[in-house]
Structure 1
Amino acid sequence: MALIEIDNLSVTFLSKGHRVLAVKDVSLAVEARESFGLVGESGSGKSTILRAICGLAPVSGGAIRIDGQPLDRGAGKGFARRVQMVFQDPYASLHPRHTIDRTLSEPLAIHGIGDTDARVMRALDDVGLPRSFRFRFPHQLSGGQRQRVAIARALMLEPEILLLDEPTSALDASVQAETLNLLNRLRAERGLTFLMVSHDLAVIDHMCDRILVMQHGQAVEELTRDQLAGAQMKTDYARSLFAASADRMLAG
């Protein structure tokens, strides 16, 4: 049994009085300790799937299960102990008036977990940030450092699953590589399961064991890492994504 199971998921929004089907009948399964990627252009529905898992998007059909258990739409503390999300923009995801110490301590306080000082120090060590950063504010950190704080915050409750929504797209290329390597190391050390969204096949290729290509809210094609590396796509859309990604790499 897969750790994450999504069966025929549909997500429908109301926009200006009209129903918008953002995700249509998407199914996928992610095994424990696997890294699974969702790739596609903007508006393909990939980030909406992550938000649906967290209860942040209106599910209109289908089912989501974690370790065989259907998700409660009002995902509470038990869900937060198992599943955490890292958002795209490190500038927006951290409270500007909270120190790094408060940002990392808050999940522990909410869940009644003690040993706060030691856990915060260990979290900074784990993501490669100096302990002296503990009482700094987000504006005193670079973009890459802020994203490391966001990753540390997601790991404070020792979850099994990380949902990663374009976690490096707002970062410079060199910092992007550092952050991806950090995520890979943490996954190996902690036995984490990743469900990761990106528009960039090069990022997905670096991070993921399997990939689901999405277009207009629908699943187009599933690929293994080996199939992606060998350009063994069956659909024109997946091939066009691959070509665009290769062109960006050459241009860089």
Structure 2
Amino acid sequence: MALIEIENLSVIFNAKGREVRAVEGVSLSVEARESFGLVGESGSGKSTILRAICGLAPVSGGTIRLGGAPVARGKAFSRRVQMVFQDPYASLHPRHTLDRTLSEPLAIHGLGDADRRVMQALEDVGLPTSFRFRYPHQLSGGQRQRVAIARALMLEPEILLLDEPTSALDASVQAETLNLLSRLRDERGLTFLMVSHDLAVIDHMCDRVLVMQHGRAVEELSREALAGAQMKTAYARSLFEASADRMLG
């Protein structure tokens, strides 16, 4: 049984009186400890799928199951599933120290030993424990994203939903962040569902990838098929070639 099962998912928004079909009939499954990628251009619906899992987007049709059971959001869900957003500055409270940011989930869930857990979390993501009482504006973009990752891991979830976790970072910092995520996945046995517009990032991180366009699933590829440029659709090939051009550039 897959850990994450999405079947025939549809998400429809009403925007200024106009119906927007953000996701239409998408199905996918992610095994425990697998890293699964969603890739496509802006507006393809990939981030909407993550938001639908978290209850941040309205599910108009289809089912989402975790461990074979329908998603039931609440504290138990938060202990199991956490999300890392694209912009670490926007996702961190500007007036909260790192200590408060990291200890808040523990307080909400009644977990003790906050001092030790916060210090360990900083060490786990490669930040000095002396940063504990700094504010987000005192950190670099890469450091802020490390804090966002640490916060997502405070409740020791099984699943991380990663929404373009490196696209707001400088190119020199992107690889460091991706390597950090890969290490944490290996150490903690995490399952990743990761969104990116860049196939090169997905190739580095994911075991399988679903290519999306205009809210629909276009093609699913294994890591081997992606590495060997064995795409069957013109759209998937165009994404691959665009990523290759960026790497060469």
Q: Compute the TM-score of the two structures, normalised by the length of structure 1.
A: 0.98
Counterpart of 1:77 in structure 2 is 75
Any residues of structure 2 matched to 1:37-52 within 5 Å, and which? 37-52=37-52
SS of equivalent to 2:232: coil
Any residues of structure 2 matched to 1:151-190 within 5 Å, and which? 151-190=149-188
Counterpart of 1:12 in structure 2 is 12
Counterpart of 1:147 in structure 2 is 145
Counterpart of 1:137 in structure 2 is 135
Counterpart of 1:89 in structure 2 is 87
Aligned residues: 249
Counterpart of 1:250 in structure 2 is 248
Q: Give CA deviations for 1:81-103 in whole Å, capped at 9, x if unaligned.
A: 00000000011010000000000
Root-mean-square deviation over aligned CA pairs: 0.4
Counterpart of 1:60 in structure 2 is 60
Equivalent residue letter for 1:136: R
CA drift of 1:196 comes to: 0.0
Q: Give CA deviations for 1:3-61 in whole Å, capped at 9, x if unaligned.
A: 00000000000011121110000000000000000000000000000000000000000
SS of equivalent to 2:211: strand
C-alpha distance in structure 1 between counterparts of 2:204 and 2:168, whole Å:
17
SS of equivalent to 1:59: coil
Counterpart check, 1:224 vs 2:212? no
Q: Give CA deviations for 1:192-222 in whole Å, capped at 9, x if unaligned.
A: 0000000000000000000000000000000
Among 201, 224, 227, the residue aligned to 1:203: 201
Percent same amino acid among aligned pairs?
85
C-alpha distance in structure 1 between counterparts of 2:228 and 2:36, whole Å:
18
C-alpha distance in structure 1 between counterparts of 2:205 and 2:61, whole Å:
30
Equivalent residue letter for 1:41: E
Equivalent residue letter for 2:181: L
Point out 4+ residue stretches in structure 1 off by more than 3 angstroms.
none
Among 193, 210, 213, the residue aligned to 2:211: 213
C-alpha distance in structure 1 between counterparts of 2:91 and 2:22, whole Å:
23
Counterpart of 1:116 in structure 2 is 114
CA drift of 1:105 comes to: 0.2
Counterpart check, 1:28 vs 2:28? yes
CA drift of 1:66 comes to: 0.4
Q: Give CA deviations for 1:116-163 in whole Å, capped at 9, x if unaligned.
A: 000000000000000000000000000000000000000000000000
Equivalent residue letter for 1:31: E
Equivalent residue letter for 1:207: M
Equivalent residue letter for 2:62: G
